[in-house]
Structure 1
Amino acid sequence: MQIHEWLYVWLGCAISLALAFVGNGWHPLLEVSVLTLAYLLLQRMGEPGGRVRLLGAYMATLALYAGSSAIVEKLGVPLRHHELLAADTALFGESPVLALRGVFRPGLNDLLSLGYMSYHVYLHWALLQVVISNKHGMLFGARLFTAFAVGFLGYLFYPAAPPLTAFPELFPTPLAGGVLTHWNESINTAMASHYDAFPSLHVLITLTLLTWDWGCFRLRFWIMLVPSLLMLVATLALRLHYAVDLLAAVLLFFLLHLAYGRNPLRHS
Protein backbone atom coordinates (compact mmCIF):
# COMPACT_ATOMS: atom_id res chain seq x y z
CA MET A 1 0.00 0.00 0.00
CA GLN A 2 1.10 3.56 -0.71
CA ILE A 3 1.60 6.22 1.93
CA HIS A 4 -1.77 7.91 1.35
CA GLU A 5 -3.55 4.57 1.60
CA TRP A 6 -1.90 3.85 4.93
CA LEU A 7 -2.79 7.35 6.09
CA TYR A 8 -6.45 6.88 5.18
CA VAL A 9 -6.60 3.50 6.94
CA TRP A 10 -4.83 4.98 9.97
CA LEU A 11 -7.29 7.87 10.07
CA GLY A 12 -10.23 5.49 9.90
CA CYS A 13 -8.83 3.31 12.70
CA ALA A 14 -7.95 6.32 14.87
CA ILE A 15 -11.42 7.83 14.44
CA SER A 16 -13.05 4.47 15.24
CA LEU A 17 -11.01 4.10 18.43
CA ALA A 18 -11.78 7.67 19.46
CA LEU A 19 -15.51 7.15 18.90
CA ALA A 20 -15.39 3.88 20.86
CA PHE A 21 -13.59 5.62 23.71
CA VAL A 22 -16.02 8.54 23.81
CA GLY A 23 -18.96 6.12 23.61
CA ASN A 24 -21.27 8.70 22.09
CA GLY A 25 -23.51 6.25 20.22
CA TRP A 26 -22.65 3.12 18.25
CA HIS A 27 -23.97 4.26 14.87
CA PRO A 28 -21.09 6.61 13.87
CA LEU A 29 -18.58 4.05 15.18
CA LEU A 30 -20.13 1.34 13.01
CA GLU A 31 -20.20 3.63 9.96
CA VAL A 32 -16.54 4.62 10.22
CA SER A 33 -15.40 1.06 10.97
CA VAL A 34 -17.31 -0.42 8.02
CA LEU A 35 -16.07 2.28 5.63
CA THR A 36 -12.48 1.81 6.78
CA LEU A 37 -12.70 -1.96 6.31
CA ALA A 38 -14.31 -1.53 2.88
CA TYR A 39 -11.56 0.87 1.83
CA LEU A 40 -8.86 -1.51 3.03
CA LEU A 41 -10.39 -4.41 1.12
CA LEU A 42 -10.76 -2.27 -2.01
CA GLN A 43 -7.10 -1.32 -1.92
CA ARG A 44 -6.18 -4.99 -1.67
CA MET A 45 -8.23 -5.78 -4.78
CA GLY A 46 -6.75 -3.31 -7.24
CA GLU A 47 -3.27 -2.83 -8.62
CA PRO A 48 -1.11 -0.04 -7.15
CA GLY A 49 -1.95 3.17 -9.00
CA GLY A 50 -4.75 1.46 -10.93
CA ARG A 51 -8.23 2.82 -11.51
CA VAL A 52 -9.83 0.84 -8.68
CA ARG A 53 -7.43 2.13 -6.06
CA LEU A 54 -7.51 5.71 -7.34
CA LEU A 55 -11.31 5.76 -7.30
CA GLY A 56 -11.26 4.12 -3.86
CA ALA A 57 -9.02 6.90 -2.56
CA TYR A 58 -11.30 9.47 -4.17
CA MET A 59 -14.37 7.99 -2.45
CA ALA A 60 -12.49 7.90 0.87
CA THR A 61 -11.63 11.58 0.36
CA LEU A 62 -15.29 12.47 -0.19
CA ALA A 63 -16.33 10.45 2.87
CA LEU A 64 -13.73 12.09 5.11
CA TYR A 65 -14.66 15.55 3.91
CA ALA A 66 -18.39 14.97 4.29
CA GLY A 67 -18.06 13.35 7.71
CA SER A 68 -15.32 15.48 9.27
CA SER A 69 -17.68 18.00 10.91
CA ALA A 70 -19.91 15.29 12.36
CA ILE A 71 -16.84 13.50 13.76
CA VAL A 72 -15.55 16.73 15.33
CA GLU A 73 -18.92 17.32 16.97
CA LYS A 74 -19.26 13.72 18.18
CA LEU A 75 -15.79 13.78 19.72
CA GLY A 76 -16.22 17.28 21.14
CA VAL A 77 -12.98 18.59 19.62
CA PRO A 78 -12.55 22.28 20.56
CA LEU A 79 -13.07 24.72 17.69
CA ARG A 80 -10.15 26.97 16.85
CA HIS A 81 -11.44 29.85 14.73
CA HIS A 82 -10.77 32.37 17.51
CA GLU A 83 -7.12 31.26 17.61
CA LEU A 84 -6.83 31.57 13.83
CA LEU A 85 -8.26 35.09 13.83
CA ALA A 86 -5.91 36.00 16.69
CA ALA A 87 -2.94 34.58 14.73
CA ASP A 88 -3.92 36.70 11.73
CA THR A 89 -4.07 39.77 13.93
CA ALA A 90 -0.69 39.00 15.51
CA LEU A 91 0.97 38.56 12.11
CA PHE A 92 -0.68 41.35 10.12
CA GLY A 93 -2.09 43.81 12.68
CA GLU A 94 -5.52 43.22 11.17
CA SER A 95 -6.65 40.01 9.55
CA PRO A 96 -6.51 40.39 5.74
CA VAL A 97 -10.05 38.99 5.66
CA LEU A 98 -11.25 42.03 7.58
CA ALA A 99 -9.03 44.44 5.68
CA LEU A 100 -10.65 43.32 2.40
CA ARG A 101 -14.22 44.09 3.51
CA GLY A 102 -15.92 46.15 0.84
CA VAL A 103 -12.80 46.45 -1.33
CA PHE A 104 -14.04 44.55 -4.39
CA ARG A 105 -16.97 45.55 -6.56
CA PRO A 106 -19.79 43.09 -7.39
CA GLY A 107 -18.42 42.18 -10.82
CA LEU A 108 -14.99 41.38 -9.40
CA ASN A 109 -16.53 39.31 -6.59
CA ASP A 110 -18.34 37.30 -9.27
CA LEU A 111 -15.03 36.73 -11.05
CA LEU A 112 -13.36 35.70 -7.78
CA SER A 113 -16.25 33.34 -7.05
CA LEU A 114 -15.77 31.74 -10.44
CA GLY A 115 -12.08 31.34 -9.64
CA TYR A 116 -12.90 29.76 -6.29
CA MET A 117 -15.24 27.24 -7.90
CA SER A 118 -12.65 26.43 -10.58
CA TYR A 119 -10.87 24.34 -7.93
CA HIS A 120 -13.49 21.62 -8.35
CA VAL A 121 -13.07 21.68 -12.12
CA TYR A 122 -9.29 21.43 -11.83
CA LEU A 123 -9.35 18.58 -9.32
CA HIS A 124 -11.77 16.42 -11.29
CA TRP A 125 -10.20 17.22 -14.65
CA ALA A 126 -6.78 16.08 -13.44
CA LEU A 127 -8.12 13.00 -11.68
CA LEU A 128 -10.28 11.89 -14.61
CA GLN A 129 -7.39 12.35 -17.02
CA VAL A 130 -5.22 9.97 -14.99
CA VAL A 131 -8.06 7.46 -14.44
CA ILE A 132 -9.06 7.38 -18.11
CA SER A 133 -5.50 7.17 -19.43
CA ASN A 134 -4.57 4.65 -16.69
CA LYS A 135 -1.04 6.11 -16.65
CA HIS A 136 1.09 7.50 -13.83
CA GLY A 137 -1.58 6.60 -11.26
CA MET A 138 0.90 5.69 -8.52
CA LEU A 139 2.77 9.00 -8.72
CA PHE A 140 -0.32 11.15 -9.12
CA GLY A 141 -2.33 9.36 -6.44
CA ALA A 142 0.51 9.52 -3.92
CA ARG A 143 0.92 13.28 -4.31
CA LEU A 144 -2.76 14.20 -4.49
CA PHE A 145 -4.23 11.99 -1.79
CA THR A 146 -1.35 12.37 0.65
CA ALA A 147 -2.01 16.11 0.50
CA PHE A 148 -5.69 15.46 1.17
CA ALA A 149 -4.92 13.15 4.09
CA VAL A 150 -2.59 15.69 5.69
CA GLY A 151 -5.25 18.37 5.24
CA PHE A 152 -7.86 16.21 6.94
CA LEU A 153 -5.60 15.94 9.97
CA GLY A 154 -6.02 19.69 10.32
CA TYR A 155 -9.79 19.47 9.88
CA LEU A 156 -10.09 16.84 12.62
CA PHE A 157 -7.48 17.96 15.16
CA TYR A 158 -7.63 21.74 14.64
CA PRO A 159 -11.18 22.34 13.39
CA ALA A 160 -12.30 25.87 12.66
CA ALA A 161 -15.21 27.49 10.87
CA PRO A 162 -14.50 29.98 8.06
CA PRO A 163 -14.64 33.70 8.94
CA LEU A 164 -17.95 34.15 7.13
CA THR A 165 -19.78 31.71 9.42
CA ALA A 166 -17.61 31.91 12.54
CA PHE A 167 -17.80 35.71 12.93
CA PRO A 168 -20.95 37.02 11.23
CA GLU A 169 -20.87 40.06 13.51
CA LEU A 170 -17.65 41.17 11.81
CA PHE A 171 -19.35 41.20 8.41
CA PRO A 172 -22.57 43.22 8.84
CA THR A 173 -22.61 44.02 5.12
CA PRO A 174 -23.20 41.04 2.80
CA LEU A 175 -20.78 40.42 -0.03
CA ALA A 176 -21.59 42.57 -3.03
CA GLY A 177 -22.04 40.41 -6.07
CA GLY A 178 -24.32 38.79 -8.58
CA VAL A 179 -25.47 35.25 -9.26
CA LEU A 180 -22.00 33.68 -9.11
CA THR A 181 -21.13 35.28 -5.76
CA HIS A 182 -24.40 34.21 -4.15
CA TRP A 183 -24.16 30.74 -5.68
CA ASN A 184 -20.64 30.23 -4.38
CA GLU A 185 -21.63 31.57 -0.96
CA SER A 186 -24.66 29.26 -0.71
CA ILE A 187 -22.59 26.24 -1.77
CA ASN A 188 -19.96 26.91 0.88
CA THR A 189 -22.56 27.60 3.57
CA ALA A 190 -24.42 24.37 2.81
CA MET A 191 -21.38 22.11 2.47
CA ALA A 192 -21.25 19.07 4.76
CA SER A 193 -17.96 20.17 6.33
CA HIS A 194 -18.45 23.24 8.53
CA TYR A 195 -14.97 23.27 10.11
CA ASP A 196 -12.74 23.17 7.05
CA ALA A 197 -10.72 26.36 7.43
CA PHE A 198 -7.33 25.05 8.56
CA PRO A 199 -5.37 24.36 6.44
CA SER A 200 -6.75 25.60 3.12
CA LEU A 201 -7.14 22.47 1.00
CA HIS A 202 -8.06 24.70 -1.94
CA VAL A 203 -4.54 26.12 -1.81
CA LEU A 204 -2.71 22.91 -0.88
CA ILE A 205 -4.39 20.79 -3.57
CA THR A 206 -4.14 23.49 -6.24
CA LEU A 207 -0.40 23.91 -5.65
CA THR A 208 -0.04 20.12 -5.84
CA LEU A 209 -1.92 19.99 -9.15
CA LEU A 210 -0.03 22.94 -10.65
CA THR A 211 3.29 21.33 -9.75
CA TRP A 212 2.16 18.05 -11.29
CA ASP A 213 0.98 19.75 -14.47
CA TRP A 214 4.18 21.76 -14.83
CA GLY A 215 6.01 18.49 -15.27
CA CYS A 216 3.36 16.32 -16.91
CA PHE A 217 0.64 18.40 -18.56
CA ARG A 218 2.02 21.83 -19.34
CA LEU A 219 -1.01 22.93 -21.39
CA ARG A 220 -3.39 22.43 -18.46
CA PHE A 221 -0.96 24.30 -16.20
CA TRP A 222 -1.31 27.43 -18.35
CA ILE A 223 -5.08 26.98 -18.69
CA MET A 224 -5.59 26.72 -14.92
CA LEU A 225 -2.96 29.21 -13.74
CA VAL A 226 -5.16 32.33 -13.88
CA PRO A 227 -8.24 30.63 -12.32
CA SER A 228 -5.93 29.31 -9.59
CA LEU A 229 -4.57 32.80 -8.86
CA LEU A 230 -8.14 34.11 -8.67
CA MET A 231 -8.96 31.29 -6.28
CA LEU A 232 -6.05 32.31 -4.06
CA VAL A 233 -7.35 35.88 -3.74
CA ALA A 234 -10.93 34.63 -3.36
CA THR A 235 -10.13 32.59 -0.25
CA LEU A 236 -9.67 35.86 1.65
CA ALA A 237 -11.85 38.26 -0.32
CA LEU A 238 -14.89 35.98 -0.08
CA ARG A 239 -14.32 35.46 3.68
CA LEU A 240 -13.74 31.73 3.38
CA HIS A 241 -10.29 31.44 4.99
CA TYR A 242 -7.94 33.15 7.40
CA ALA A 243 -4.53 34.18 6.11
CA VAL A 244 -2.81 31.63 8.36
CA ASP A 245 -4.80 28.88 6.61
CA LEU A 246 -3.07 29.82 3.37
CA LEU A 247 0.36 30.05 5.03
CA ALA A 248 -0.13 26.61 6.57
CA ALA A 249 -1.16 25.19 3.19
CA VAL A 250 1.93 26.63 1.48
CA LEU A 251 4.20 25.24 4.22
CA LEU A 252 2.61 21.79 3.98
CA PHE A 253 2.94 21.87 0.20
CA PHE A 254 6.68 22.57 0.38
CA LEU A 255 7.22 19.86 2.99
CA LEU A 256 5.34 17.30 0.89
CA HIS A 257 7.11 18.45 -2.26
CA LEU A 258 10.49 17.97 -0.58
CA ALA A 259 9.41 14.55 0.68
CA TYR A 260 8.46 13.35 -2.80
CA GLY A 261 11.18 15.15 -4.68
CA ARG A 262 10.90 16.56 -8.16
CA ASN A 263 8.32 15.10 -10.50
CA PRO A 264 10.17 12.36 -12.42
CA LEU A 265 7.91 12.62 -15.46
CA ARG A 266 8.86 14.79 -18.36
CA HIS A 267 6.56 17.46 -19.75
CA SER A 268 4.27 15.93 -22.36
Structure 2
Amino acid sequence: MSKPPPRILSIAGSDSSGGAGIQADIKTITMLGGYAMTAITAVTAQNTRGVQGVEVMPPGFVMAQVESCLSDIGADAIKIGMLGSPEIARHLAKRLDTFTGAIVFDPVMVATSGSSLASAETIAAFGDLMQIATVVTPNLPELAALTGREQLDEEDVFDAARELAQAQDTIVLAKGGHGDGDEVIDRVISPSGKLASYGHARIDTRHTHGTGCTLSAALATLLGHGQPLVNAIRLARGFTFAAIENAPGFGEGHGPLGHQAVRKLEDPREA
Protein backbone atom coordinates (compact mmCIF):
# COMPACT_ATOMS: atom_id res chain seq x y z
CA MET A 1 0.00 0.00 0.00
CA SER A 2 1.39 3.40 -0.98
CA LYS A 3 2.07 6.05 1.61
CA PRO A 4 -0.89 8.44 2.04
CA PRO A 5 -0.42 12.03 0.88
CA PRO A 6 0.48 14.70 3.43
CA ARG A 7 -2.57 16.44 4.87
CA ILE A 8 -2.35 20.18 4.29
CA LEU A 9 -4.80 22.65 5.82
CA SER A 10 -5.00 26.04 4.14
CA ILE A 11 -6.48 28.83 6.25
CA ALA A 12 -7.03 31.76 3.90
CA GLY A 13 -9.49 33.84 1.91
CA SER A 14 -11.40 32.76 -1.18
CA ASP A 15 -10.57 34.38 -4.53
CA SER A 16 -13.59 34.24 -6.85
CA SER A 17 -11.35 34.50 -9.93
CA GLY A 18 -9.34 31.43 -8.90
CA GLY A 19 -5.91 33.02 -9.06
CA ALA A 20 -4.98 33.43 -5.41
CA GLY A 21 -6.05 32.46 -1.92
CA ILE A 22 -7.79 29.18 -1.22
CA GLN A 23 -8.16 28.37 -4.91
CA ALA A 24 -4.46 28.78 -5.66
CA ASP A 25 -3.61 26.80 -2.54
CA ILE A 26 -5.80 23.83 -3.50
CA LYS A 27 -4.25 23.70 -6.98
CA THR A 28 -0.72 23.93 -5.59
CA ILE A 29 -1.21 21.35 -2.85
CA THR A 30 -2.82 18.93 -5.30
CA MET A 31 -0.14 19.35 -7.97
CA LEU A 32 2.54 18.65 -5.35
CA GLY A 33 0.89 15.45 -4.15
CA GLY A 34 -0.81 16.69 -0.99
CA TYR A 35 -4.36 16.35 0.31
CA ALA A 36 -5.90 19.83 0.52
CA MET A 37 -8.29 20.97 3.24
CA THR A 38 -9.53 24.50 3.81
CA ALA A 39 -10.78 26.94 6.42
CA ILE A 40 -12.06 30.05 4.66
CA THR A 41 -11.48 33.31 6.55
CA ALA A 42 -13.10 35.65 4.02
CA VAL A 43 -14.90 35.56 0.70
CA THR A 44 -13.79 38.07 -1.90
CA ALA A 45 -15.24 39.29 -5.16
CA GLN A 46 -12.11 39.86 -7.22
CA ASN A 47 -10.49 39.38 -10.58
CA THR A 48 -7.20 40.26 -12.26
CA ARG A 49 -8.03 43.98 -12.08
CA GLY A 50 -8.62 44.20 -8.34
CA VAL A 51 -10.82 43.37 -5.37
CA GLN A 52 -14.41 44.49 -5.73
CA GLY A 53 -15.71 43.25 -2.37
CA VAL A 54 -14.80 41.38 0.82
CA GLU A 55 -16.99 39.55 3.33
CA VAL A 56 -15.13 38.39 6.43
CA MET A 57 -16.23 35.15 8.09
CA PRO A 58 -17.20 35.20 11.79
CA PRO A 59 -14.23 34.06 13.90
CA GLY A 60 -16.25 31.26 15.46
CA PHE A 61 -17.11 29.82 12.06
CA VAL A 62 -13.49 29.98 10.91
CA MET A 63 -12.49 28.06 14.00
CA ALA A 64 -15.30 25.55 13.43
CA GLN A 65 -13.81 24.81 10.00
CA VAL A 66 -10.35 24.39 11.49
CA GLU A 67 -11.64 22.11 14.23
CA SER A 68 -13.63 19.98 11.79
CA CYS A 69 -10.44 19.26 9.84
CA LEU A 70 -8.01 18.79 12.73
CA SER A 71 -10.31 16.72 14.94
CA ASP A 72 -11.03 14.14 12.24
CA ILE A 73 -8.54 14.00 9.36
CA GLY A 74 -5.70 15.85 11.07
CA ALA A 75 -2.94 17.78 9.34
CA ASP A 76 0.76 17.39 8.67
CA ALA A 77 1.25 21.07 7.81
CA ILE A 78 -0.78 24.27 7.85
CA LYS A 79 -0.59 27.27 5.55
CA ILE A 80 -2.05 30.55 6.81
CA GLY A 81 -2.80 33.39 4.41
CA MET A 82 -5.38 36.19 4.43
CA LEU A 83 -6.92 36.44 7.90
CA GLY A 84 -9.74 38.95 7.59
CA SER A 85 -9.79 40.23 11.18
CA PRO A 86 -7.61 40.51 14.30
CA GLU A 87 -10.03 38.24 16.17
CA ILE A 88 -9.43 35.44 13.65
CA ALA A 89 -5.68 35.88 14.06
CA ARG A 90 -5.85 35.67 17.84
CA HIS A 91 -8.19 32.66 17.86
CA LEU A 92 -5.94 30.80 15.42
CA ALA A 93 -2.79 31.54 17.41
CA LYS A 94 -4.38 30.15 20.56
CA ARG A 95 -5.75 27.02 18.85
CA LEU A 96 -2.59 26.20 16.89
CA ASP A 97 -0.13 26.84 19.71
CA THR A 98 0.10 23.09 20.38
CA PHE A 99 0.09 22.00 16.72
CA THR A 100 3.13 19.79 16.12
CA GLY A 101 3.38 19.99 12.33
CA ALA A 102 4.85 22.77 10.19
CA ILE A 103 3.07 26.14 10.03
CA VAL A 104 3.78 28.46 7.11
CA PHE A 105 2.43 31.99 7.65
CA ASP A 106 2.11 34.29 4.64
CA PRO A 107 1.35 37.71 6.21
CA VAL A 108 -0.97 38.90 3.45
CA MET A 109 -1.61 42.64 3.54
CA VAL A 110 -2.17 43.76 -0.05
CA ALA A 111 -3.33 41.88 -3.16
CA THR A 112 -1.16 41.84 -6.30
CA SER A 113 -3.56 44.41 -7.76
CA GLY A 114 -2.81 46.78 -4.87
CA SER A 115 -6.07 46.29 -2.96
CA SER A 116 -5.79 46.16 0.83
CA LEU A 117 -6.57 42.77 2.38
CA ALA A 118 -5.71 43.50 6.03
CA SER A 119 -6.55 46.34 8.39
CA ALA A 120 -3.97 47.94 10.67
CA GLU A 121 -5.57 46.09 13.61
CA THR A 122 -5.25 42.76 11.82
CA ILE A 123 -1.59 43.40 10.97
CA ALA A 124 -0.94 44.28 14.62
CA ALA A 125 -2.31 40.84 15.58
CA PHE A 126 0.11 39.01 13.25
CA GLY A 127 2.69 38.76 16.04
CA ASP A 128 0.86 35.96 17.86
CA LEU A 129 0.86 33.85 14.69
CA MET A 130 4.46 34.60 13.77
CA GLN A 131 5.55 33.33 17.17
CA ILE A 132 4.09 29.87 16.50
CA ALA A 133 5.02 29.72 12.79
CA THR A 134 7.76 27.49 11.44
CA VAL A 135 8.47 30.04 8.72
CA VAL A 136 7.02 33.45 7.82
CA THR A 137 7.04 34.51 4.15
CA PRO A 138 6.75 38.31 3.80
CA ASN A 139 7.42 40.18 0.60
CA LEU A 140 9.49 43.35 0.91
CA PRO A 141 6.61 45.80 1.59
CA GLU A 142 5.23 43.39 4.20
CA LEU A 143 8.66 42.98 5.78
CA ALA A 144 8.99 46.75 5.97
CA ALA A 145 5.58 47.08 7.63
CA LEU A 146 6.29 44.29 10.12
CA THR A 147 9.54 45.95 11.20
CA GLY A 148 8.22 49.52 11.36
CA ARG A 149 10.01 50.78 8.25
CA GLU A 150 8.48 52.93 5.53
CA GLN A 151 10.42 51.08 2.85
CA LEU A 152 13.37 48.74 2.43
CA ASP A 153 16.47 49.39 0.40
CA GLU A 154 18.37 46.35 -0.88
CA GLU A 155 21.07 46.69 1.76
CA ASP A 156 18.46 46.78 4.54
CA VAL A 157 16.63 43.54 3.72
CA PHE A 158 18.89 41.21 5.70
CA ASP A 159 18.83 43.42 8.81
CA ALA A 160 15.04 43.74 8.69
CA ALA A 161 14.56 39.98 8.19
CA ARG A 162 16.92 39.15 11.05
CA GLU A 163 15.16 41.67 13.28
CA LEU A 164 11.80 40.03 12.55
CA ALA A 165 13.22 36.51 12.99
CA GLN A 166 14.71 37.42 16.36
CA ALA A 167 11.64 39.29 17.58
CA GLN A 168 9.27 36.42 16.75
CA ASP A 169 11.71 33.50 17.18
CA THR A 170 10.92 32.15 13.74
CA ILE A 171 12.51 31.68 10.33
CA VAL A 172 11.84 34.39 7.76
CA LEU A 173 11.74 33.86 4.00
CA ALA A 174 12.10 37.42 2.71
CA LYS A 175 10.75 37.36 -0.85
CA GLY A 176 12.46 39.73 -3.26
CA GLY A 177 9.88 39.97 -6.02
CA HIS A 178 9.07 43.59 -5.17
CA GLY A 179 12.71 44.63 -5.38
CA ASP A 180 14.46 46.39 -8.24
CA GLY A 181 16.80 44.96 -10.82
CA ASP A 182 16.83 42.06 -13.25
CA GLU A 183 17.32 39.43 -10.55
CA VAL A 184 14.91 38.35 -7.83
CA ILE A 185 16.70 37.41 -4.61
CA ASP A 186 14.92 35.55 -1.80
CA ARG A 187 16.66 35.29 1.57
CA VAL A 188 16.14 32.76 4.35
CA ILE A 189 17.01 34.17 7.77
CA SER A 190 16.90 32.50 11.19
CA PRO A 191 17.19 34.32 14.53
CA SER A 192 20.91 33.53 14.50
CA GLY A 193 21.54 34.69 10.93
CA LYS A 194 21.42 33.80 7.24
CA LEU A 195 20.55 30.23 6.26
CA ALA A 196 20.38 30.52 2.49
CA SER A 197 19.64 32.83 -0.43
CA TYR A 198 18.20 32.10 -3.85
CA GLY A 199 18.24 34.15 -7.01
CA HIS A 200 16.69 33.90 -10.45
CA ALA A 201 16.21 36.17 -13.42
CA ARG A 202 13.10 38.32 -13.14
CA ILE A 203 10.31 37.13 -15.45
CA ASP A 204 8.92 40.00 -17.51
CA THR A 205 5.19 39.39 -17.05
CA ARG A 206 2.08 40.93 -15.55
CA HIS A 207 0.67 37.47 -14.76
CA THR A 208 1.73 37.15 -11.13
CA HIS A 209 -1.62 37.02 -9.30
CA GLY A 210 -1.34 34.54 -6.43
CA THR A 211 2.43 34.17 -6.45
CA GLY A 212 2.79 34.52 -2.68
CA CYS A 213 -0.14 32.18 -2.01
CA THR A 214 1.36 29.59 -4.35
CA LEU A 215 4.82 29.76 -2.79
CA SER A 216 3.57 29.44 0.79
CA ALA A 217 1.17 26.61 -0.06
CA ALA A 218 3.94 24.79 -1.94
CA LEU A 219 6.28 25.23 1.02
CA ALA A 220 3.69 23.87 3.47
CA THR A 221 3.07 20.86 1.21
CA LEU A 222 6.75 20.06 0.84
CA LEU A 223 7.31 20.37 4.57
CA GLY A 224 4.34 18.04 4.99
CA HIS A 225 6.17 15.57 2.76
CA GLY A 226 9.05 15.70 5.23
CA GLN A 227 11.45 17.82 3.22
CA PRO A 228 14.09 19.76 5.21
CA LEU A 229 13.26 23.46 5.29
CA VAL A 230 15.98 24.80 2.97
CA ASN A 231 15.31 22.10 0.37
CA ALA A 232 11.55 22.63 0.70
CA ILE A 233 12.05 26.33 -0.05
CA ARG A 234 14.16 25.49 -3.08
CA LEU A 235 11.50 23.16 -4.47
CA ALA A 236 8.65 25.56 -3.65
CA ARG A 237 10.44 28.36 -5.49
CA GLY A 238 10.95 26.08 -8.47
CA PHE A 239 7.27 25.18 -8.60
CA THR A 240 6.22 28.84 -8.32
CA PHE A 241 8.69 29.94 -10.99
CA ALA A 242 7.37 27.27 -13.36
CA ALA A 243 3.76 28.27 -12.64
CA ILE A 244 4.58 31.89 -13.55
CA GLU A 245 6.25 30.74 -16.76
CA ASN A 246 3.17 28.68 -17.64
CA ALA A 247 0.61 31.41 -16.88
CA PRO A 248 -2.36 31.07 -19.28
CA GLY A 249 -2.60 34.82 -19.95
CA PHE A 250 -6.13 35.27 -18.60
CA GLY A 251 -7.60 38.65 -17.64
CA GLU A 252 -6.92 42.30 -18.34
CA GLY A 253 -4.78 42.92 -15.26
CA HIS A 254 -2.51 40.77 -13.11
CA GLY A 255 -3.38 37.32 -14.44
CA PRO A 256 -3.27 33.97 -12.60
CA LEU A 257 -0.47 31.44 -12.67
CA GLY A 258 -0.52 28.16 -14.58
CA HIS A 259 -0.48 25.66 -11.73
CA GLN A 260 -2.04 22.88 -13.76
CA ALA A 261 0.57 23.24 -16.52
CA VAL A 262 3.55 22.62 -14.24
CA ARG A 263 5.08 19.24 -14.86
CA LYS A 264 6.29 17.25 -11.91
CA LEU A 265 9.65 18.81 -11.13
CA GLU A 266 10.92 16.17 -8.71
CA ASP A 267 9.25 13.64 -6.48
CA PRO A 268 8.65 15.76 -3.35
CA ARG A 269 9.08 12.68 -1.17
CA GLU A 270 12.57 11.99 -2.49
CA ALA A 271 14.07 15.24 -3.85
Is TM more than 0.5 here?
Answer: no
Structure with bigger gyration radius: 1
Higher relative contact order (CA 8 A, sep 6+): 1
Q: Could you state the TM-score of these two structures normalised by the residue count of structure 2?
A: 0.27
Q: Point out the structure with the larger strand share.
A: 2
Q: Could you state the TM-score of these two structures normalised by the residue count of structure 1?
A: 0.27
